[in-house]
Amino acid sequence: MNDVVALGTNGWQRFWNRGGWWKALIAVVAYYLLYQYVPLWTLGPFVGGLTDPAAKILVTTGVPIAFGCVVLIVFAWSIGWLRELFGRQPIRGRGWMWIAVAITLLFNVLHFATIDYATAGAGIVLAWIITGLFIGFAEEVLTRGLVVNLMRKAGHRELTVALVSAALFAAMHAGNMFSGQALLPTLVQLVYTFAFGICMYLALRVTGALIWPILLHATTDPSIFLQSAYPAAGPLTGFAASGNIVVIIAGLVLLIFIRGRVAVPEAPRDGALPRS
């Protein structure tokens, strides 16, 4: 690939291919507004008539995020990044990064193992699993895909890439206060989502492909929501519920050891021939 192709074939692509943290912020804010308000305008009149809990989960949570997934795919296609986002990562991970994957996976399994499935019902469980797939795809493509790529294209160190992607991921959850969540739980959630974002960045690095943090994230939200709402009786349930604290500690500690930088090819000067 030559530098002209790498920069993009039109002004829209060239704008995004130069990267930058403020462009990452624009992408996150635009996504948040679109997925929050466009489905609300179209689905709002139908929500009040829903009585089935599983249907409410799908319509009020799953469908808006599924719409966000479509928006992200169209956007990535428009700037020519689909293959780049879902291809092999341009920087290798380190063995210690598997700690983040192992901790997240362990507590996801424990959460699923300590759910009272009889009380929850098959419909609600299935609704959350489907919704979790949408959540994992949308939030990882946005933050560990687009945001990470934008930061790398601007030449930032991987520590800064991880910090910005995790911070923007956490910031999206601050909007929960607008839906009635109290300040203290929101602050705790912001700390957790920042640390979880670091863990997902490390999962991206060590697995080498975006699909793995997508799947890891897709099993996280349903397992936490279902275990919190329908906990099974037993001592393992309390231990599983401590997973958020472990993730916070792991994310904040492992952050210290992130190193590296992705080399950015220089753009050709005006009038210069592109290098092949």
The pLDDT tens digits for 16-55 are 999 999 999 999 999 999 988 887 777 666 666 778 999 9
The Cα-based distances of 153 to 47, 146, 150, 158, 271 in angstroms read 42, 11, 5, 11, 23
Highest mean pLDDT among 29-33, 60-64, 179-183: 29-33
pLDDT at 4 over 50: no
At residue 157, what are phi and psi to the nearest 5 degrees?
-65, 155
User: Residue 177's pLDDT band (boundaries 50, 70, 90)?
Assistant: confident
pLDDT value of residue 234 = 92
The pLDDT tens digits of the residues spanning 99-125 come to 999 999 999 999 999 999 999 999 999
Q: What single letter denotes the amino acid at residue 22?
A: W
- Give the per-residue pLDDT at 2: 42
How high does pLDDT run on average in the chain? 91
How wide is the angle at C-alpha 74 spanned by C-alphas 202 and 41, nearest 5°? 105
């990267």: which residue's tokens? 19
Q: Which residues pair with 159 in a beta bridge?
A: none
Q: What is the pLDDT of residues 141-172, one digit of tens each?
A: 999 999 999 999 999 999 999 999 999 999 99
Amino acid residing at 173: H
Checking if the pLDDT of 6 tops 60, the result is: no
Which pTM value belongs to this model? 0.91
pLDDT band for position 188 (50/70/90)? very high
In this predicted structure, the answer to whether residue 179 has a pLDDT above a threshold of 80 is no
Q: Is 82 helix (H, G, I), strand (E, B) or coil?
A: helix
Task: Say yes or no to pLDDT of 267 above 60.
Answer: no
pLDDT of 210: 98
Query: What was the pLDDT predicted at 1?
Result: 41
Res. 207: pLDDT tops 90: yes
pLDDT of residue 29: 96
The residue behind tokens 């974002």 is 197
The per-residue pLDDT for range 76-104, each reduced to its tens digit, is: 999 999 999 999 999 999 999 999 999 99
Percent of the chain with pLDDT over 70: 91
- Do 68 and 35 contact (CB within 8 A), yes or no? yes
* pLDDT attached to residue 3: 44
Confidence of residue 266 (pLDDT cuts 50, 70, 90): low
pLDDT value at residue 102: 98
